[in-house]
Amino acid sequence: MIEKIGVFCSSSDKIDSIYYKEAERLGHWIGETGKTLVYGGAKCGLMEAVAQGVRKAGSLNVIGVVPKVLIERELVSECIGIRIPTEGLHDRKMWINKVSDILIALPGSVGTLDEAFTVIGEASIGLGTKKVIFWNINGFWNSLFKMFDDMKATGVQNKPIDDYLLKADSLEEVINLINRN
């Protein structure tokens, strides 16, 4: 049964409000179902929105895996119930992957892709079995899905990745994928 949900997402405060709204809805669902959020611990962007959603649902089940640089810059969310400090980003993504039962990639940039691709890369060579759900809010990941289709069509992708890279277009689809895994 899925209990700890890792979330990779943007720390930017300069994105459309639809992404914040959906991130908060995800957090609220995590909180109201008694599951635990595992995430990067920053008090900005979608990271803060998902953590706020958990808190607004009345839950303190939030594990923040926080790099030292965020602690030094005082950018750590107050929504964290358990803080796991790390030296850097590499340690953070390893902890999030290790502690989580499943992972969700909300809209994000290179950090989000790095985190998600590490999980997918490990699964593709048999080093892991974790799944990553790419929540395609407002079509955000359409270009990425097209790139994977192109890799498959050109033959550079050796094995199908559909077993560990999952796609969802709505929170309901995200929930269904979590409940099936």
Helices and strands (DSSP H and E) totals, the chain: 7, 7
Domain that holds residue 98: 4-180
pLDDT in tens, 109-158: 999 999 999 999 999 888 989 999 999 999 999 999 999 999 989 988 87
Per-residue pLDDT tens over the stretch 38-52: 999 999 999 999 999
| pTM beyond cutoff 0.85 | yes
Burial of 87 (0-12, 13-18, 19+ CB in 10 A): exposed
Which CATH number is 46's domain given?
Answer: 3.40.50.450
Domain count across the chain: 1
Sheet holding 62-67, edge to edge: 82-86, 62-67, 36-39, 4-8, 102-105, 132-135, 165-168
**Does an H or E element contain 179, and which?**
helix 171-180
